[in-house]
Structure 1
Amino acid sequence: MNIIEIWDVESSQYRLEDLLEEDIQMAEAYFGVKLPDDYIKLLKIQNGGTLICNALPIALNRWDGDDYLEIDNLRGIKKDKGIMETEYFKQEWGISKRNIILISGDGHSWFALDYNHGAEPKVIYIETDSERITQIYDTFQEFINHLYVHEYDEEEGLRTTPLPTIEDARKLINCSEEDDIIEGFDIFNSFIYDESIHEEYFDYLLNFIKSGNEDLKDYAAEAVWRVVTAQYPIDKSLIQKVIVELKDDKDPTIQNFLEEIEEIINSV
């Protein structure tokens, strides 16, 4: 994504006066964080505004046939404006999650930087009506790189390419090739909102751990960490089964994941 092409320069909505260095310093001091370099680069071109690229290729509500998330703006920085309105909007819309910065949204849904897991923020999607929070990207740069222009085919009113189904995911997971297995589980993971598949989901992860394949084991530990940090309503007993299987593993990355997982589930 060429960051110069991101802004709808003909729209004045959400657009603030030119970004100054003192605005950056004010925001970083207020939130106690370092804002992503790519975010600052965007705001130096234009300090917030409407986006030309209006979608992200993420399916959260697959039962509606949706395969994307809409996004029409990115907030800039000025005193009491843009991202500096984060606390106001959090109170207004009942968002209790701490250490986040709201960077885009309309009230019913928000995109935010999540600083709960280190200096490099994750990007999360908040649905205030359902109180669901989903981690969607590991970095702001990844978030920007996935933006695209969604064009709806009004004449047909139908999708031209069907989404992979949960049956497609199961077939791939049961293949012998590691890449197919991971691709299948990534598809399966997009159905995680459905509590009826949680037990099956964790059975797959336990099989990955017991397979003897180090890559699949690492993948399983990270997958559990992702669903826990995204605050899906997962039965703790399912998570504990994974913890038991991995607690004696010597891999420092896995141990880091386990420490964060236990910290989160014990704080709930």
Structure 2
Amino acid sequence: MKRVLIFDSGVGGLSIYQEIYRQLPQVQYVYAFDDAAFPYGELPDSELIERTSHIVTRLVERHQVDLVVIACNTASTIVLPSLREQLSIPVVGVVPAIKPAALASKRKAIGLLATPATITRQYTDILISQFANDCEVLRIGSTRLVEMAEEKLRGKPVSITELREILSAWQGKVDCIVLGCTHFPLIKEEVLLAVGEKVQVIDSGMAIANRVKALLGDVVVHQQVFSNFTYNSAAGENAAALNISLEQLGLSAIESLNYPRSLVR
């Protein structure tokens, strides 16, 4: 049986998990999130590398994982070289879907919706220069949307009015929006309601799923029932509500790794 570990600072990576699961339901999944240090965009690079390496290598060994997905844009740009040196298995990262958005945009006007850290990072400038130099790319960095996605999975409704206010600067100016944070596809339907039907909303989930499928190769279909696993780094609030959503997605209730924020700092 093939096993895939999906790692993020929060529940945003569940959007990536869902896309991979649609293509590979016969794979066993381990989902882990470092909520003790959430959000990752506020961490120094050295701490982010230390935390990610510790949690990922520990779970790879525990579950004999075949492939790792770092389902966080911030972590992907910082920790992949270090992790790939430590592990002998493939490690897949995520980047904002600038290229497909540039190809899809008819007006050549794109909105990049991401975290404040992602919209200011050099790798984002490089992606835009390489793949969207013929487009106007407007950027909004929002931590609030991350919170909305987390709240939604814990049973709280998403305010369309608040979303409209956050995205109001793009009204009538873009025809394509890139969801540049893995949390944001979790509220994709709400974003579409907020911006209207004439705007296309794109994320990187399908591309990551295709990459994982190609790297895993042939996957044997097993008849026996098996469990998927969920881990976090510290006990969080509203775990019971989140566990309901996790169960609906085919994942287990959360097990804590007891890796608090203060361990590194």
TM bin, normalised by shorter chain, reads under 0.3
Higher relative contact order (CA 8 A, sep 6+): 2
**TM-score in terms of structure 1 length:** 0.27
Which protein is richer in helix relative to its size?
2
**TM-score in terms of structure 2 length:** 0.27
